[in-house]
Amino acid sequence: MRLAKEAMEGRIRGRSAIVAFVQDRRGIAATEFAVIVPLMLVLLFSTVEFCSGLAVDRKVSLVARTIANLTSQGANASASDLANFFGAATLIMVPYVQPTYPAPNMTISELYIDPSSGNARVQWSAGSAPRGLSSVVPVPQSMIATDPATHAIIPNQYIIFSEVNTVFTPTLGNYGMMKAAVTLSDVAYALPRQSTCVFYPSTPSPATCPTQ
């Protein structure tokens, strides 16, 4: 009888220990924290990288508009003028410049709208990747002025065309969701303000570019 009682008490104690173990919640928060923290850190760093990428992309657009705007403000442009424009535009990329990020590639071109075909052909080009003379560059149709009555293309139209691109490389590399480098680019258009076209350094000829 005594042995049976002891055996019964032993079972009860064992069952109570199992129940107590199952119901014990001590340490569960630490366990959940250890599981969730790596995921939360990846999301945090990825958000930071994504926001940095958006900021760089926005600055690339500002650089493209800046060099097109600066070039369009004069009737003439020299090599030193364009170098100054590129230098000023590069400052827009701060703090996204060397040594963390490379300086952006910038190219400025002047396009002549051929009234017979509507093609925009390069008159001159300078910068990181100059375009070939007379090469055709697609432009928005809204940039080409036409006669309201005949719809013919109005002659002597020129457009300042800028191109900018840079490579954004995630700082955290394999520790974030953005693992590969991304090329960010943009273009901008501007109309010459002081004359029909902008001479650089002496093209196009005055015969094809009368002053306004």
Q: DSSP for 18-60, please give it.
A: HHHHHH--TTHHHHHHHHHHHHHHHHHHHHHHHHHHHHHHHHH
**DSSP H or E stretch at residue 84:** helix 79-91
Is residue 195 in a domain?
A: no
Band the pLDDT of 2: cuts 50, 70, 90: low
Band the pLDDT of 113: cuts 50, 70, 90: very high
| Residues facing residue 187 across a β-bridge | 163
Q: CB-based burial of residue 50 (10 Å sphere; 0-12 exposed, 13-18 middle, 19+ buried)?
A: middle
Residue numbers of the domain that contains 127: 12-190
Q: Among 141, 105, 136, which Cα is nearest to 119's?
A: 136
The pLDDT of 127-153, averaged and rounded, is 91
Rounded to whole angstroms, the Cα distance separating 66 from 209 reads: 24
Poorest-pLDDT segment among 19-23, 93-97, 113-117, 157-161: 19-23
Q: Among 122, 121, 111, 109, which Cα is nearest to 71's?
A: 109
The pLDDT of 102-128, averaged and rounded, is 91
Angle between helices 28-72 and 79-91 (to 10 degrees): 160
pLDDT for the residue 85: 94
Q: Among 132, 143, 89, 93, which Cα is nearest to 109's?
A: 132
pLDDT for the residue 206: 45
Is residue 148 in a domain?
A: yes
212 pLDDT above the threshold of 50? no
Helix (H, G, I), strand (E, B) or coil at 131: coil
Is residue 84 in a domain?
A: yes
Rounded to whole angstroms, the Cα distance separating 24 from 22 reads: 6
Is residue 142 in a domain?
A: yes
The pLDDT of 143-148, averaged and rounded, is 89
Number of domains in the chain: 1
Is residue 120 in a domain?
A: yes
Is residue 200 in a domain?
A: no
> Pick the residue with more confidence: 167 or 12?
167
Is residue 55 in a domain?
A: yes
Is residue 3 in a domain?
A: no
Rounded to whole angstroms, the Cα distance separating 71 from 48 reads: 35
The pLDDT of 9-23, averaged and rounded, is 58
| pTM metric for this prediction | 0.75
pLDDT for the residue 121: 93
